[in-house]
Amino acid sequence: MREIIFSLVFLLCTVNLFVSSVSVARKPQTIKKWTIQMVGYSPMKNDDYVAVSMEAPTGYIVGYEPLANADRVHHMLLYGCTRPYAESGFWRGESTCGGGGAHILYAWARNAPNLELPKGVGFAIGDSSGESGIKYLVLQVHYAAPFAGRVSDYSGITLKVAAEQPPNLAAVYLIVSGSPIPPHQPAFQNNMSCTYPSSTVLHPFAFRTHTHKMGRLVSAFYKRDGHWTMIGKRNPQWPQLFEDISRPMEIHEGDFIAGSCRFDSSGESKPTPMGSMGSNEMCNFYMMVYYKASDENPFPFGAYCSNGVPAHSFDDYPVEGTELLPARPELEHHAHQSAVPFGVIEEAKFTHIGPVKLGQVAGLSFDPSHNLVVFHRGKRVWNGDTFNGANVLNNKNPIDEDVIVISKMEGKNASLVAKTGKGLFFLPHGIFVDSDNSIYTTDVGSHTVAKWKMNADSSLSKVWEVGTPLVPGAGSTHFCKPTGVVVKGGSIFVSDGYCNDRVVELTLDGKYRSEFKGQGGFKIPHDIVSNSDTHNLYVADRENGRVHELRNDGSIVSIFTSGLFNNIYSVDTHGDSVFMIPGEFRATQFGGEELPIAVFVGRAGSGLTEYGFAPTSGPFTRPHIVRVCPHGDHVYVGDIDESSPVIWKFKIQHEGANHETDGGTLSFFSTLSLPYTPDVSSGYSFLVFFLFIVFVVGAGVWAKRKFSEKTPQSSFSRTGFKPLRMEDNIGVSSDESDAD
C-alpha cells in the first residue's frame, strides 16, 4: 500500500507540473453597461403604451438589470430592430419596430429581479447581429393607469454587453395564443402550438410566463416521437422573471411545440379577448434558447410560435401542464400590481409650525418619535453680505430666535411639540437626530459642528463642539462652512462643504479621525446621509451635479448623474430609493422641453434616476433640503426662498406598505448544462481532481482484491453545470468592468 501512495503522490505532482506548463492565462472579458430609459413620461390614459429607441451597441448582451417597479409600470418589452418605428426616438402607441426584423430580447413585469445569462451565452446586437440586423434597441413600456400628482417616469433597462463573441447565441422564442376566453369558467385552457421548422438545434435554458389578472398557470412542452417533454410551467401571478430550466434539453427540426394557459373567468360576464389592454388578457410563454454560434440563425426575422396546428393535437397534452402549482403567497405579494394608481401627491405646505413663522428652512431631520425636526434661520437671511472675502461672518451676533422647531405632522396639520436654540446659532445649515434623541448641528456662520442634549424644559445643553467658533479653517481642528452631519455606526460624518470640499470622519466624542474628497473631488459637498439598509453614505456633490454613494472609507459604490440636473443640493434614502433635489433651475434642454426643479428618485447602487415628482400648486423656488419620513410614505422639502420659505409635504401613494423592489426576498438559483468549451485553467483543477479520484478508487479496488473482499461496484459520470443567475441587487453604475 505504501508503494501505491508514493506512486499516487508522484503522479499528481507530475500532472501538476505538466498542466501548469501548458496553462494559458485567460484574458478577462470586457463588459460595458448601456441603459435605455423612458424620457420622463407621465401616462395620459389607462393602458398607455409608449416606446423609446437607441442605436444598438455592438456586442453580446449577457445580462439585464431592470429599473422599474410594478407600482408604476405594468410591463416592459425590449426589442431588437432593423429600424425603429419612428426616427424621433420616442413615440406613443404599441408600435415598436419599423421595416425588417423584430426580435424580442427581454421582457419584464411584476418586479422580476435582474437576469444574468449563463456563461458562454449572449444575444448578438449591433454589428455583431449578422443577418438578424439588430441595429436599434426599442423599449416598449405599458402603463396601466395615469399617475397621481406630477410624476415623471424614467423606467428602463440596463444591458450588460460583452465585446467577445460567446460560443452560443441566444434568442427569445415567443409562444402566444390569440383565442378569447369565455365567461364563467373556473378552469379554461387556452392552447397555442407550432412545429419547429429549422435544422438548427435549440437548447432552451430559461422561460417566462405572462398573462393578466385571470391567468393561473402557463406551461409549455415539446413532443418528439410521441413523447412529451416539459419546458416549464409557472404561475403568472408570481414575479414574471425568466426562470431557469434545470435540465438540458434540445428542440430539433419537426418537433411539435405546444403551450397552454389556464384562466379563471368565473367573475366575468362576457368573453375576454386577447389584447394589450388591461381589460384584455394575454397568453404568452417566452422561451429563452441558445444555439451554437457556428450554426445557421434559425430566427433571422423574429421567433414566434402561435396556433399553427389543429386543435386535436392537444388531445394528449400532459395533465401536468394544466395542474395548478402550490400557492406561494410571498411571491404573489412581491409581484402584486397595485389597484391604486401610483403617485406622489402634494399634501400640504407650511410657512408656520404652530405660532412659529419659518425662516429659511436649511435642515430637516426626525426624532425617535418620528416628529419632524426643523432647522431654520428665523429672520436671518444668507445673502451676498453675510460673509467677507475670507469666509468670516460679518454679523457675529447669534440669532435671537428659536431656530430648532419640533413638529408633529398629521395630514395637513403641523402642531408644535417644542422649540429651542435661541441665542446659540449664527447661520443654521445641517441637523441630525440620533436614536438617543441627541441633536447634531452644523453652523456655516460659526464654522462649527456640535452635539446637543435637549433638557426637560426644551433648552439645549452642549455636549461638545468641534471647530473654532467664527474662525474658518482646514485641517483636523477647523471647519469652513460645514453643511451636513450624520451618525453612522461608531462614527460621525460631516460634509465640510463650502471651502474645504471634503467629508470629515469624527469619533462619537467629536475627535478627528480621517477625511476624504470623493472621486474626482467634491465641489461643495452640501448634504450627507446614510442608508440603514445598505449601510452606505450618500453625499450631495452640489456644484458637480451628482450624488456619491460611498462606503465608510470613501470608496465609490455608484455615482448618480443625469442630464436632468446639473446641481444637487440634498439627498436622502429609504430602502433602495435615493431621493435627490437640485436647489436651482440650471438644467439644459432635455427632449425639447425645459424641466422645472423636481425631486428625482434613483435606485441605490445603480446611479440611475427612476422617477421624479414636483408640486402641483406651483413650482419649487429654492429647495434646500429633502428628507423622507421613517415609514417611507411621506417626503418633506425645505425651501429657502427669501420671500416665502416653506416646508413642502408630499405623500407617496401606492398600495401596500412596501414600495421598494425588495429583490432580496427572491432567490432563483439552479443548474444549467451547456456544451463543453475547453478552458485550460479550469480544466487543470478538474483533471487533478479526476486523476486523484481515479487513483484513490483504483487503490481501494486493488486493496480489496488483494484481501479477496469482493463487493459490487458502481460508477457515475457527472456533467458540468452552470447557473442562470436571477440577481437580487442592482450593481454599480460603472459602464465598464472586467469579469471572468
Q: How does pLDDT run across 632-661, given as a tens digit for each residue?
A: 999 999 999 999 999 999 999 987 534 444
Q: Which residue has the cell 405579494?
A: 333
| Amino acid symbol at 114 | N
Domain layout of the chain by residue ranges: 2-26+674-727+734-739, 173-325, 353-653
pLDDT recorded at residue 594: 59
The pLDDT, as a whole number, for residue 301 is 87
Instruction: Tell me which H or E stretch contains 277.
Output: none
Q: What is the pLDDT of residues 203-235, one digit of tens each?
A: 999 999 999 999 999 999 999 999 999 999 999
For residue 312, what pLDDT band results from cuts at 50, 70 and 90? low
**DSSP strand pairing (121-125 vs 168-176):** parallel
pLDDT at 551 over 80: yes
User: Is residue 74 a known part of a binding site?
Assistant: yes
Chain mean position to CA 86:
28
Give 276's pLDDT tier (boundaries 50, 70, 90). Answer: confident
Residue 287 counted as an annotated binding residue: no
Q: What is the pTM of this model?
A: 0.81
Q: Tell me whether the CATH fold assigned to 173-325 matches the one assigned to 353-653.
A: no
Distance from C-alpha of 512 to C-alpha of 489, rounded to nearest angstrom: 16
CA angle 488, 490, 492 (to 5 degrees): 55
Burial of 14 (C-beta count, 10 Å sphere; 0-12/13-18/19+): exposed
Contact 573, 529 (CB under 8 A): yes
DSSP character string of 320-354 = GGTSPPPP-HHHHHHHPPPSSPPEEEEEEEESEET
Mean pLDDT on 265-282: 93
Asked whether residue 2 carries a pLDDT value surpassing 90, the answer given is no
Q: How confident is the model at residue 610 (pLDDT cuts 50, 70, 90)?
A: very high
Give Cβ neighbours of residue 413 (< 8 Å, ≥ 6 apart): none
Q: What percent of the chain has pLDDT over 90?
A: 73
The residue length of the chain stands at 740
Hey, which CATH number is domain 353-653, 2.120.10.30, 3.20.20.70, 3.90.1150.200, 3.90.1150.10?
2.120.10.30
Cβ atoms 139, 192 nearer than 8 A:
no
Give residue 657's pLDDT: 38
Straight-line distance from the first to the last Cα atom of the chain, in angstroms, rounded to the nearest whole number: 42
- Digit-coded pLDDT (tens) for 430-441: 999 999 999 999
Residues 6 or more apart whose Cβ sits within 8 Å of residue 106: 61, 64, 76, 77, 78, 115, 157, 172
Judged against a pLDDT cut of 60, whether residue 462 lies above it is answered with yes
In angstroms, rounded to a whole number, what is the distance separating the alpha carbons of residues 578 and 497? 21
**Average pLDDT for residues 338-360, to the nearest whole number?**
94
What is 173-325's CATH number, 3.30.1330.20, 2.160.10.10, 3.90.76.10, 2.60.120.230? 2.60.120.230
Interval 590-600 mean pLDDT: 72
Question: Which range, of 239-248, 522-531, 583-592, averages the lowest pLDDT?
Answer: 583-592
Q: Three-class SS of residue 694? A: helix
Average pLDDT over residues 715-725: 28
CA distance 461 to 446: 17
Q: Which residues contact 138 (CB under 8 A, 6 or more apart)?
A: 51, 52, 53, 78, 79, 80, 81, 84, 85, 96, 97
Q: Which residues contact 539 (CB under 8 A, 6 or more apart)?
A: 495, 503, 518, 522, 525, 527, 528, 547, 548, 550, 571
**pLDDT tens-place string over residues 142-197:** 999 999 999 999 999 999 999 999 999 999 999 999 999 999 999 999 999 999 99
Reference 403, options 434, 372, 425, 382; nearest CA is 425
Query: For 110-121, how does the pLDDT look when each residue is reduced to its tens digit (9 = 90+)?
Result: 888 999 999 999
Q: Given strand 546-550, what is the order of strands in its sheet? A: 525-530, 537-541, 546-550, 556-560
Question: Of 595 and 58, which is predicted with more confidence?
Answer: 58
Residue 595: the pLDDT is: 67
Give the Cα separation of 59 and 515 in Å (integer).
Answer: 41
Q: Are 731 and 35 in contact (CB under 8 A)?
A: no
Is residue 705 very low, low, confident or very high in pLDDT (cuts 50, 70, 90)? very low
142 is in an annotated binding site: yes
Percentage of the residues of the chain whose pLDDT score is greater than 70: 81
210 assigned to a ligand binding site: yes
**pLDDT at residue 468 greater than cutoff 80:** yes
Residues 105 and 160: their CA atoms lie apart, in Å, by: 13
The phi, psi pair for 518, rounded to 5°, reads: 80, 165
Please, what's the b/e burial string for 114-143 (b: 16 or more CB within 10 A of its CB; e: otherwise)? Answer: bbbbbbbbbbbbbebbeebbbbbbbbbbbb
519 pLDDT tier (thresholds 50, 70, 90): confident
Q: What pLDDT, on a 0 to 100 scale, did the predictor assign at position 80? A: 96
What is the pLDDT at residue 719?
27
Query: Taking all residues of the chain, what is their mean pLDDT, rounded to a whole number?
Result: 85
User: Which helix (H) or strand (E) is 2 found in, with range?
Assistant: helix 2-22
Q: What are phi and psi of 566, to 5 degrees?
A: -130, 15
> Is the confidence at residue 334, as pLDDT, over 90?
no
Above 80 in pLDDT, residue 664?
Answer: no
Instruction: Choose the weakest-confidence range: 19-28, 88-97, 358-367, 641-650.
Output: 19-28
698 and 692 in contact (C-beta within 8 Å)? no
